[in-house]
Structure 1
Amino acid sequence: MSDITFTLDNQFTRTFAADEVVSNYPRQVQSAYSFVEPKNTKNPQLVAISKHVVKQIGLTEQQVNSAEFLQLFSGNGLLPDMKPFAMCYGGHQFGHWAGQLGDGRAINLAEVMTENYGHKTLQLKGAGPTPYSRTADGLAVLRSSIREFLCSEAMYHLGVETTRALSLSLTGDSVVRDMFYDGHAKAEPGAVVCRVSSSFIRFGSFQLPASRQNISLLTQLVDYVITRDFPHLGAPSPAVYLAWFNEVCDRTCSLVVDWMRVGFVHGVMNTDNMSIIGETIDYGPYGWIDNFDLNWTPNTTDAQGKRYRFGAQGEMAQWNLFQLANAIFPLINDAEPLQKALNNFAKNYQQQWQFMMAAKLGLELSSEQANEDELKLFIALEDVLMAVETDMTIFYRRLADLPNDRSLWLNHLSACFYNQDEISSAYQASLFR
């Protein structure tokens, strides 16, 4: 494997004590991670790469086309000194504490230092079981792997903070899945995605040691994240812990407003799926809204309660931040500044949402906050878009070049509407008033 070289930077595994159990089987783990190797695959085949991410991590086209690249990023071979590991964390799932979760089908292949982009972790998703897989097999199928690869790269180019995708490989193995959850499982092509981020640490990474009253590990984790990913805040201390929490709130706020800007619905905003550095992470049952619907969720598991519906994402982000605040409270022992940060999140979210809406309409707000008339306009617009099935993306594109002649407006916007029969005279009056 000498054709490919990295500057390995195993900060996480150097900093924290590893799981003492070497065998790979489901269990409760008291440390921050477990060493585990990817599962060998039968007949790997490279399907796609992101040339931009290839450059980010310092590889050449020749290296990407090598057999060594395919073996490494399909889980079949390791470079010298690579020690793959899976992280241990917990989380709230659909509002309920789930206890230990962890990297059930993700294996951190290596932490590397890049020349121009700093520290990056290379993570294989679908590369086999870990101690956190519970009753699952740790594998992934091609259809979900394609979705992860395409969406993470699309989000990046839409200007949304996200984990990236380096490569997508077929494994040559079959994986049995119940695609429609109707009891008719069948074999599908297996695949592995290599995703890349500066950090895969989640809100749930802090929740688990806090729930176990392991304050030593909790403090070590917070100090580690501040030192590595938020060094501008200074040396860890109670005051810096607060500054850090405020910045996590700010990054999360900006992230979710960007989701709303492009019509993205994460679908499973559990606390174990919330990145501590403010990136979109874990592309599961996500979706982009077609017709504008604040109540839409792409997650069939959430179809009845709609906890993570499109219009609730800001509220759910604040709820998740509240759980993070609870987790780090022992390091601060003062609820008031944490509550203030959460209150500020709500204010900042409303402000950023208003600026985003104004920008989509080609307007400039009269002040830092929308005035009463501007806010009424934004809310009225959402009501109109909800009244009939209206394609959000096409609507805003057509709105950008709306003719001066009002008599042409309906025809100009007609491509936005899925059912022309719904365009009543009353609806036209509300749209063009």
Structure 2
Amino acid sequence: MSEGPQASAAPMLDFRFDNAFVRELPGDPESGPGVRQVHGALYSRVEPTPVAAPRLLAHSPEMARALGLTEADLASPRFAQVFAGNALLPGMQPYAANYGGHQFGQWAGQLGDGRAIALGEAVNAAGERWELQLKGAGPTPYSRHADGRAVLRSSIREFLCSEAMHHLGVPTTRALCLVGTGEDVVRDMFYDGHPRPEPGAIVCRVAPSFIRFGNFELPASRGETGLLRQLADFCIRRDFSGLRGGGEALYADWFAQVCERTAALMAHWMRVGFVHGVMNTDNMSILGLTIDYGPYGWIDDFDPDWTPNTTDRYQRRYRFGQQPHVAYWNLGCLAGALAPLFADHAPLQDGLRRYAEAFNDAARRDIAGKLGLDGCREDDIALMRDLQGLMHEAEVDMTLFFRGLAGIDPAAPSPAPVEEAFYDPAKREAADPALRDWLARYARRLQAQDLPADARRARMNAVNPRYVLRNYLAQQAIDRAEQGDLGGVHELQEVLRRPYDDQPGREAFARRRPDWARDKPGCSMLSCSS
């Protein structure tokens, strides 16, 4: 095995790289993976560590087309070599970003890309900029005591969820491909003293930018105001090019836009029932994208207090219902980091107020969409709040209930279209009077609006998915993949490409969580170990 990735000798994959981040911003004068504190720099140059036997396991056809890749490119053995980190294409300039962050509410200092290595910024034929980043490509200066690798289990979850979220219409980083390394990685999945070897894998993550809140927090915490300003100017110039003006007014408009994008993201998460699990500030995208898929999950039975993260099982800081509030807190941390750029902090407070306004506006639109209403009135907010209380008390599957609700007949509102959403027959029986009362209120609201039944159902089915990436479905695919059968990954990927469509023959992917999966590892709560 070679000591580092080799430059590709023959032209392959017709990428054009414009690596603005490393060209325009200061980097670490020291290169290589040696662990160190990096001051006065926003990245460190480091190359991926080659692996034994790279093999392409899965790819996203949509992301491949966006990057201009052909079927011949994907079928070439060189493709797996490049996206495992064994070979570099001309123009690639690998690096790991330097950033800090608040983790579970506490300042953690320097963190950085501990196992993610950016290959470069590819610009496609349409002029779109896509940063290519390998997750699990080996140690970096920010790996601390870790090996910089990732296991197949977590890599499948990141690959599937990145693309599933895109097709749900949720802003997200993307995944180009999943590559097996042919090497084992030792992990203690639940930090309980039982490590075991697991197959390794690498995901190629793709986004216009991977800049996070933590990229700004670290220089601010060190008093590196010049570096902070340089990064802010760069981020606005490259990633927010539609903004105009200069000085504090430009910074204020930029922060307000970050707040608005974050608000939109939180509303999407709440709409589809997604729980991130690790909403640290270093996991918050400056572009308002879902980033860093670790112990995430979709709520099955509606529970605002549920979190998929075993590390958070007691505090439940990052529970489902708390996510919009955590995002606001995280934006407050970002505002604190940006404060040295402002003589008057009032514009930062205005940005935070804009977050609250934008989130509330989006939440009202989602209430109207999920219930099939012609708008959202104050009593509609109460109607949704009462429904959510009923769903929580009666242990009702969120995805199935809202999808089934489109089948309600306002002239004769029966519970039949939502029956499959209940997990516990006894709780279903106990909730029957409250459910019928709510359905009667809902039917009256539908009858009072001038919206044809077909239009109402279409509106509801466009925002209430039929298929989501339930943890037990992902775990079934992982179990098969660890035995060498990738059919489960490919089948699940295909289903999740059309999450709002009824897909005859695929009803098994739209069922409530089975009882055996309630407490099974990987199907209920997960750890950060990957």
Normalised by the length of structure 1, the TM-score is 0.96
Q: Is the 8 A contact 1:206 1:221 kept in 2?
A: yes
Alignment of 1:372-411 (within 5 A): 373-404=379-410, 406=412, 409-411=414-416
Is 1:18 the counterpart of 2:24? The answer is: no
1:302-347 CA-partner distances (Å, limit 9, x unpaired)? 1111111000110000000000000111111212221122122112
State the distance in 2 between where 1:333 and 1:375 align.
40
Give the one of 289, 292, 311 matched to 1:301. Answer: 311
1:178, 1:313 → 2: CA distance?
28
Distance in 2, matches of 1:262 and 1:198, equals: 24
Q: CA deviation at 1:232?
A: 1.0
Which structure 2 residue ranges, 5 or more long, are not aligned?
Answer: 1-7, 438-530
The CA distance in 2 between the partners of 1:200 and 1:299, in whole Å, is 23
Say which SS state the counterpart of residue 423 (structure 1) adopts: helix
Residue 406 of structure 2 aligns with an amino acid whose one-letter code is A
Q: Which amino acid aligns with 2:310?
A: T
1:279-428 alignment runs, 5 A limit: 279-365=289-375, 370-371=377-378, 373-404=379-410, 406=412, 409-425=414-430, 427-428=431-432
TM superposition shift of 1:405: 6.2
Amino acid in structure 1 at the alignment position of 2:36:
R
Give 1:221's aligned residue: 231
* Contact 1:414–1:420 (CA under 8 A) maintained in structure 2: no
1:25 deviation in Å?
Answer: 1.2
Instruction: Map 1:49-198 onto structure 2 (within 5 A).
Output: 49-116=59-126, 118-198=128-208
Higher mean C-alpha deviation, range 327-336 or range 274-283? 327-336
Tell whether 2:47 aligns with 1:37: yes
Distance across 2 between alignment mates of 1:354 and 1:321: 22
SS at match of 2:158: helix
Of stretches 33-42 and 23-32 in structure 1, the one that deviates more from structure 2 is: 23-32
Offset of residue 113 of structure 1? 1.0
State the shift of 1:224 in Å: 0.4
Separation of aligned partners in 2, 1:404 and 1:420: 25
CA-based RMSD:
1.3
Asked if 1 retains the 8 angstrom alpha-carbon contact of 2:32 and 2:140, the reply is no
Identity of aligned residues (%): 53
> Is the contact between residue 91 and residue 120 of structure 2 (CA under 8 Å) also seen in structure 1?
no
Q: Decide which of 1, 7, 10 is 2:16's aligned counterpart.
A: 7
Q: What do the CA deviations read for 1:98-154 (whole angstroms, capped 9, x no partner)?
A: 000000010001111111251110000000010001111110000000000000000
Report if aligned partners of 1:56, 1:117 keep a CA contact under 8 Å in 2.
Answer: no
Cα offset for 1:236? Answer: 4.0
> What CA distance in whole angstroms lies between the structure 2 residues aligned with 1:322 and 1:236?
23
Q: 1:257 and 1:179 mapped to 2: Cα distance?
A: 31
Distance in 2 between residues matched to 1:189 and 1:117, nearest whole Å: 37
The answer to whether the Cα contact below 8 Å between 2:130 and 2:206 also exists between their aligned partners in 1 is yes
Which amino acid letter does the alignment assign opposite residue 213 of structure 1?
G
| CA distance in 2 between partners of 1:136 and 1:280 (Å) | 24
1:404 shift after superposition: 4.7
SS state at 1:53 partner: helix
Indicate if the aligned counterparts of 1:32 and 1:87 stay in contact, CA closer than 8 A: yes
Question: Does the CA contact (< 8 Å) of 1:124 and 1:193 recur in 2?
Answer: yes
Partner of 1:210: 220
The one-letter code matched in structure 2 to 1:61 is E
CA distance in 1, matches of 2:225, 2:144: 26
The range that moved more, 224-233 or 19-28, is 19-28
Once the 2 structures are TM-superposed, how far is the Cα of residue 235 of structure 1 from its aligned partner? 4.8
* Secondary structure of the structure 1 residue equivalent to 2:395: coil
Residue 83 of structure 1: how far off its partner (Å): 1.6
Residues paired across the two proteins, number: 427
Q: Secondary structure at the match of 1:432?
A: helix
The range that moved more, 208-217 or 227-236, is 227-236
1:432: which partner in 2?
436
For 1:337 and 1:226, the matched residues in 2 are separated by 17
Whole-Å separation in 2 of the counterparts to 1:81 and 1:378: 52
In structure 2, what is the Cα distance between the partners aligned to 1:109 and 1:146?
21
Question: Is contact 2:64–2:176 with CA below 8 Å preserved after alignment?
Answer: yes
3-state SS of paired residue (2:80): helix
SS at 2:107's partner residue?
strand
Unmatched segments (≥5 aa) in structure 1: none
The AA in structure 1 aligned to 2:427 is E
CA contact (8 A) 1:223 1:236 kept: no
Equivalent pair of 1:227/1:236 in contact (CA under 8 Å): no
Secondary structure (helix, strand or coil) at the match of 2:420 reads helix
Q: Is the 8 A contact 1:108 1:123 kept in 2?
A: yes
Deviation at residue 76 of structure 1 after TM alignment: 0.4
The two structures have a TM-score, normalised by structure 2, of 0.79
1:410 Cα deviation after fit: 2.9
Aligned-pair distance for 1:413?
2.0
Q: Which amino acid aligns with 2:249?
A: A
* Residue identity in the other structure for 2:205: R
TM-superposed CA distance for 1:230, in Å, is 0.6
Query: 2:340 aligns to what SS in structure 1?
Result: helix
Deviations 1:12-58 (A, max 9, x none): 00011221112421110011000000011001111001011111111
Task: List, as ranges, runs of 4+ consecutive aligned residues in structure 1 with deviation greater than 4 Å.
Answer: 404-407
**Greater mean deviation of Cα atoms: 62-71 or 167-176:** 62-71
Deviation of residue 411 (structure 1)? Answer: 3.4
Per the TM alignment, residue 10 of structure 1 is displaced from its structure 2 partner at its CA by 0.9
1:252-279 per-residue CA deviation (whole Å, 9 max, x = no partner) reads 0001100011100001000000000110
Shift of 1:417: 0.4
Which secondary structure does the structure 1 equivalent of 2:133 belong to? strand
Match of 2:446? none
Look up the equivalent residue of 1:412 and give its one-letter code.
P
In structure 2, the CA distance between the partners of 1:235 and 1:59, relative to structure 1 (3 Å rule), is farther
Distance 1:211 1:354 in 2: 37
